[in-house]
Chains A and B, each alone.
Chain A
Amino acid sequence: DAGITQSPRHKVTETGTPVTLRCHQTENHRYMYWYRQDPGHGLRLIHYSYGVKDTDKGEVSDGYSVSRSKTEDFLLTLESATSSQTSVYFCAISESSLSGNTIYFGEGSWLTVV
């Protein structure tokens, strides 16, 4: 499982409330990613990080912010949740090898905004 832990795994929240999802990894990987998965859209990149305090936007970053104050933790924050942010959120890491990098996913966080 590449040592990735997501929390919470399931959450129901109300529109307008802030929500933070946490991704924790134990293997000191440099690159970490947040994707969302919605029916008919596959997986889409929200934000990614290439080191402590180094982050950049993906294709669907509006309404989301991220932080990475430690190598092992990558936080995704919805400042004011909306119903359109109801989704499954997957954290991923990039694992280096001699042949190149490989992306592995965490178990997912199911978020429902009511």
Chain B
Amino acid sequence: GENVEQHPSTLSVQEGDSAVIKCTYSDSASNYFPWYKQELGKRPQLIIDIRSNVGEKKDQRIAVTLNKTAKHFSLHITETQPEDSAVYFCAASKGSNYKLTFGKGTLLTVNP
């Protein structure tokens, strides 16, 4: 089955700096790659996703890049703010049933 590895497990940045979280996947047939943000005690919330027919997608301060050849994708957050502090999860799926395989998460701390 699919295996998704996520790095780093913790990331601390200063407010205004950029943050990058990287994920690799094992199944070359995977074609959907969402990113979720989870605050303590809350549900995972989708922040951005990318499908295998594009290489990059941006939404304001958040961007995701996908390298299908290398089987990795990354989340980029620019101009970080304290409210960006949370756990971020990457995931991958293939086919029409959208069963997600998740990475183990990255705890991002943005220091004021």
Contact = CB atoms under 8 A, between A and B. Distances in A.
A31 B100 contact: no
Interface stretch (B12-20, B61-69, B72-80, B101-109): B101-109
Contact of B44 (A50, A58, A90): A90
Given A41-B104, A105-B36, A105-B43, 4 more contacts: A42-B102, A45-B99, A90-B43, A106-B43
A106 B10 CA distance: 25
Chain A interface size, under 10 / 10 to 19 / 20 to 34 / 35 or more: 20 to 34
Contacts, number: 54
Most chain A CB within 10 A, of B43, B46, B103, B105, is at B43
Contacts of B45: 105
Contact of A48 (B34, B36, B97): B97
A31 B104 contact: no
Contacts of B105: 42
Nearest to A90: B43
Interface residues of B, number: 24
Question: 5 closest Cβ contacts across the A-B interface?
Answer: A42-B102, A42-B104, A105-B43, A43-B102, A94-B98
Interface stretch (A15-23, A77-85, A96-104): A96-104
Contact of B102 (A44, A99, A102): A44
B112 interface: no
Most chain B CB within 10 A, of A43, A44, A100, A101, is at A43
Nearest to A99: B51
